[in-house]
Structure 1
Amino acid sequence: MQYKKIPARFIYFFGAFGGILFGYDIGVMTGALPFLQNDWNLHGDAAAIGWITSSVMLGAIFGGALSGQVADRIGRRKTILIAAVIFVVGSILSGVVPHDGTVYLVIVRTGLGLAVGAASALVPAYMSEMAPARLRGRLSGLNQTMIVSGMLLSYIVDFLLKDLPDPWPWRMMLAMAAVPALVLFIGVLRLPESPRFLVRTGHLDHARHVLTLIRPADSVESELQQITETAAQEEKANARTSWATVFSGKYRYLVIAGVGVAAFQQFQGANAIFYYIPLIVEEASGAAASNALMWPIIQGVILVLGSLLFMAIADRFNRRTLLTVGGAVMGISFLLPAVINWINPATNPMLIVVFLSIYVAFYSFTWAPLTWVLVGEIFPLSIRGRASGLASSFNWIGSFLVGLLFPIMTAAMPQQAVFAIFGVICLLGVVFIRTRVPETRGRSLEEIERTETRQLSVAGQAASTVSTPSSHTKES
């Protein structure tokens, strides 16, 4: 297939749009849920609310895990196009679900989650392979901004559709998620396959042709050679790597650190706010959740501003410093409302929403973006593929469980108590950062691996030294 010369801006735009698509679907249920709840009379059914909300994340667990294998077989571009089609169909089916069709909606949204997981994993990877080297860092830095911008866009769309006659608001909100997926499909349809995939599958001439479309002529051969050498190195690394290697003593420390950070990011409860903020405001104020759709927009604006702040300060502070400060403030923001309510039960319950906004502000420029920066930096080449996939799976599992269990927990105990539990988890995350996670800022992957291996070796020698005198004592 012949393609026209592709402007870098075009690639850059759709690299950003993949994040918008991902963020849009994360946020769209926030505004739709109050109307769906009223239409289907789900106010007393916490389990149904949890399953409807979290089913996308359940599908994303498998979509993210399977997408890499599918993409290695048929290509990144084709897999993204398939995911976009599933996304369009799933969004439309979500909007036309039969009345009281809870099981139907859960099944449809689980299928939609397959596309969400695939898109979240593949679109940034494909675009980073396609974009010129000078744009890759910008793509990586903008990914979080685009995700939260997609969330904000969904909140605004939800707000604009809220005055439609029943039952159209929630149906249109869910169906409108097909629009960004359709835009992504049309855009990627114009793009060729990734040169890196073509090299890995032995299509060097095709890869060279694609590079001539997206690179200056004098850099094509040198980049092709670099891609070929890197692919050969990764193939050797993958051939020597198994799951036993990932969990071996040499790498176990780094795997625990990376996977632990990814898991803590979700179990700290951020998605409980993003998915359920109208219901949280309803519980606190007594006003109908369908009238509280300005609050998601406020949270979305905070997220976007926080992501921009992160881009400005990311390389000025250590990763562990930002995660420690963020986690500590987040934990305190969750715990203080419970403490204040315990001291003075007459306190205005809307105080919790103020503290949640403080939580979102610090989460937006610390744990939200830094989790994936750290995961990208901490794993050595030999285990990077498997370990990164494992971290992503734990992150999706945490997102699914928080989305499922939050309404069930709030039905069984006061909101302040639920958020206090998340606050304790935030503080445990800080302890984890300080004790288990190495600093990665300004250090190459090889330096991180050498340092941690050396520390493990020193620890092993110390243990051996301690045991030696005891054995001599026994003999004497």
Structure 2
Amino acid sequence: MRGFQLTAFKFAAIVAFGGFIFGLDAALISGTVRFITAEFTLSDLQVGTVVSAPGFGVIFALLVTGRICDAWGRKTALLIIAALYLLSAIGSVLAPNFEMLVAARFLGGLAFTSLSLASMYIGEIAPANMRGKLVSMNQITTVVGLSAAYFANYLILQASNADAAWVTTLGIDQYTWRWMLGVEVVPALIWLLMLLIIPESPRWLVLKGRLSEARAVMGKLMPAGHIEPQIQEIQESAAAAPSGSFRQQVAEIFKPRLRTAFWVGLVIAVAQPITGINAIMFYAPTVFEQVGIGTDAAFLQAVVVGVVSVMFTILALLLIDRLGRRPLVLFGLAWGGASLFLCSWAFNQASYELTADSLQALAAANIDVSALQALVGTVFETDVSFKQAMYQALGEATARANEAALIQQAIQIDATLVLAGIMCFIASFNLSIGPVMWVLFSEIFPTHVRGVAIPFFALIVSTVSYFVQQFFPWQLNNMGAAEIFLFYAACITVSLALLFRLLPETKNKSIEEIEATMVRA
């Protein structure tokens, strides 16, 4: 790797570390669901509110992010985001009640724009032949953060069950979920400090007329002979584009000349979250408990999800500039859809029945099984009917607190089939639409509207993601696992058909070359 490429890699790596913080923030909450539900006596919709609060916060942040990064610069916006992550992490750890926990996580959601801003910044400093790889680093650090969160949750859960003096001294057994959320504090502080050393985006500097500063930054990223032609290319692109206020820039996105870019951006922005990825990633232990493997195994399985995510994101990084964006997206969606159809079929074949041996196992776990005696031998065809029977017999609070154990003792299912289907879905997502979406967002929009367009379409991603996260607990207890997986599989199928028709190939093209093909005269 040459000196200029190494410098671009260094700056990209620092900015992409925000993806690691995002991954931690997104996945640490998954391990706390059972604990906060019991401590604050939460309903399904309240659980969804806690988990989805960042997804709600980012909707508001994205309304102003474009204006901030265009007016104050990409670097300043990233520094603000890092500070918000830090404040949110501290507030979540100290939250005394449900309302304050939601407020702290909402604050963190204001920082979730880090993914779109990082893609924008990296796309603007990266050489054309490295852009796919460098922008994809954002996804790699995100899945590494997710994996680290699942692993940290698993270790903290095991520690909380250990009979050791240091566990009691540190309060890990009493404040388990607070320790889980506290994992984010130190990395968030480190990222804030690292961002101080990156330069401003040279493209933004050119657009603001700060040419001497732009030349200084470009001097670190490309040979001297390339600087003036690059500046001229950016200026010509900006001069040919309509200028105007923030509102006019937003309106520009909807004009016929950008119609191709608009439809590609819209479809992929909806397609990525509607796959249901956030339902699985944000509620990973809860999802795996539905298979009947128990709480400890569910937390361990979540760690496997993180490992698979990292492996296939790295594979995407290696392939994205070789095979291209389009083949990865289409293959990944087809594979993911088939995987979720498989999960739906397996849950549709499942049944639930308590036996005398089941009651003995539940009693050994300190569950009062006297109210369950009348249900022994009753076969329930769906998870929904089984859970409703448990709520009526034990009371909703008790049944919810012991749901994993109840399902484990009653379910008859091909667990291997479901686990394989979920893992294949995770692999397909991280090989394709997960990293490729952000690469495309950094490429398909003209420079003069990119600061508005990327946050705008990220807003669509976040809105759909919010609804997926908010209503998943309710859907799980009212629709059932089979119907949820079937719904996500159907959504993937529709997305695949649309992107097969619309999605262009952009590999090895400069941003200006892509603009020439995507924008009508």
TM-score using structure 1 length: 0.82
Residue in 2 that maps onto 1:401: 467
Residue in 1 that maps onto 2:230: 226
Displacement after TM superposition at 1:448 (Å): 6.5
Displacement after TM superposition at 1:86 (Å): 1.8
Check the 8 A contact 2:67/2:452 in 1, yes or no: no
Paired with 2:126 and 2:338, the residues of 1 have a C-alpha distance of: 41
Displacement after TM superposition at 1:298 (Å): 0.4
Paired with 2:258 and 2:509, the residues of 1 have a C-alpha distance of: 17
The verdict on how the C-alpha distance between 1:188 and 1:445 changes in structure 2, with shifts beyond 3 A counting, is: closer
1:161 and 2:156 correspond: yes
Check the 8 A contact 2:272/2:433 in 1, yes or no: yes
Paired with 2:284 and 2:482, the residues of 1 have a C-alpha distance of: 14
Paired with 1:224 and 1:178, the residues of 2 have a C-alpha distance of: 43
- Partner SS for 2:456: helix
Displacement after TM superposition at 1:443 (Å): 6.1
Check the 8 A contact 2:45/2:470 in 1, yes or no: yes
The verdict on how the C-alpha distance between 1:34 and 1:420 changes in structure 2, with shifts beyond 3 A counting, is: same
Q: Which amino acid aligns with 2:77?
A: T
Q: Which amino acid aligns with 2:238?
A: E
Q: Deviations over 1:7-35 (max 9, x none)?
A: 66753541342222222222221223233
Q: How does 1:220-259 map to 2 (within 5 A)?
A: 223=227, 226-227=230-231, 230-231=234-235, 233-234=237-238, 236-239=240-243, 242-259=249-266
Displacement after TM superposition at 1:232 (Å): 5.9
Q: How does 1:338-357 map to 2 (within 5 A)?
A: 338-342=344-348, 345=351, 346-349=412-415, 351-357=417-423
Count matched residues: 441
Residue in 1 that maps onto 2:500: 434
The verdict on how the C-alpha distance between 1:436 and 1:299 changes in structure 2, with shifts beyond 3 A counting, is: same
Choose from 76, 79, 82 the match for 1:78: 76
Check the 8 A contact 2:348/2:482 in 1, yes or no: no
1:110 and 2:124 correspond: no
User: Is there any run of 5+ residues in structure 1 with no aligned partner, and where?
Assistant: 1-5, 458-476
- Partner SS for 2:255: coil
Paired with 2:30 and 2:134, the residues of 1 have a C-alpha distance of: 27
Q: Deviations over 1:141-194 (max 9, x none)?
A: 322212211211222222222223344221122122121111111112234444
Paired with 1:9 and 1:378, the residues of 2 have a C-alpha distance of: 22
Check the 8 A contact 1:55/1:106 in 2, yes or no: yes
- Partner SS for 2:85: helix
Residue in 2 that maps onto 1:36: 36
The verdict on how the C-alpha distance between 1:120 and 1:138 changes in structure 2, with shifts beyond 3 A counting, is: same
Displacement after TM superposition at 1:275 (Å): 0.8
Check the 8 A contact 1:39/1:167 in 2, yes or no: no
Q: Which amino acid aligns with 1:122?
A: L
The verdict on how the C-alpha distance between 1:215 and 1:405 changes in structure 2, with shifts beyond 3 A counting, is: closer
1:330 and 2:336 correspond: yes
The verdict on how the C-alpha distance between 1:210 and 1:365 changes in structure 2, with shifts beyond 3 A counting, is: closer
The verdict on how the C-alpha distance between 1:371 and 1:38 changes in structure 2, with shifts beyond 3 A counting, is: same
- Partner SS for 1:150: helix
Displacement after TM superposition at 1:244 (Å): 4.4
1:305 and 2:301 correspond: no
The verdict on how the C-alpha distance between 1:210 and 1:258 changes in structure 2, with shifts beyond 3 A counting, is: closer
- Partner SS for 1:141: helix
Check the 8 A contact 1:30/1:296 in 2, yes or no: no
Q: Which moved more, 1:273-282 or 1:134-143?
A: 134-143
Residue in 2 that maps onto 1:361: 427
Residue in 1 that maps onto 2:138: 143
Check the 8 A contact 1:67/1:121 in 2, yes or no: no
User: Is there any run of 5+ residues in structure 2 with no aligned partner, and where?
Assistant: 1-5, 161-171, 352-411
Identity of counterpart residues, as a percentage? 29
Displacement after TM superposition at 1:331 (Å): 1.6
Check the 8 A contact 1:35/1:167 in 2, yes or no: no
The verdict on how the C-alpha distance between 1:16 and 1:9 changes in structure 2, with shifts beyond 3 A counting, is: same
Q: Deviations over 1:246-283 (max 9, x none)?
A: 32334324312221112111011011110111011222
Q: Deviations over 1:77-96 (max 9, x none)?
A: 33322222221111101000
Q: Which moved more, 1:143-152 or 1:269-278?
A: 143-152
Residue in 1 that maps onto 2:371: none
RCO higher in 1 or 2 (8 Å CA, sep ≥ 6)?
Answer: 2
- Partner SS for 1:183: helix
TM-score using structure 2 length: 0.75
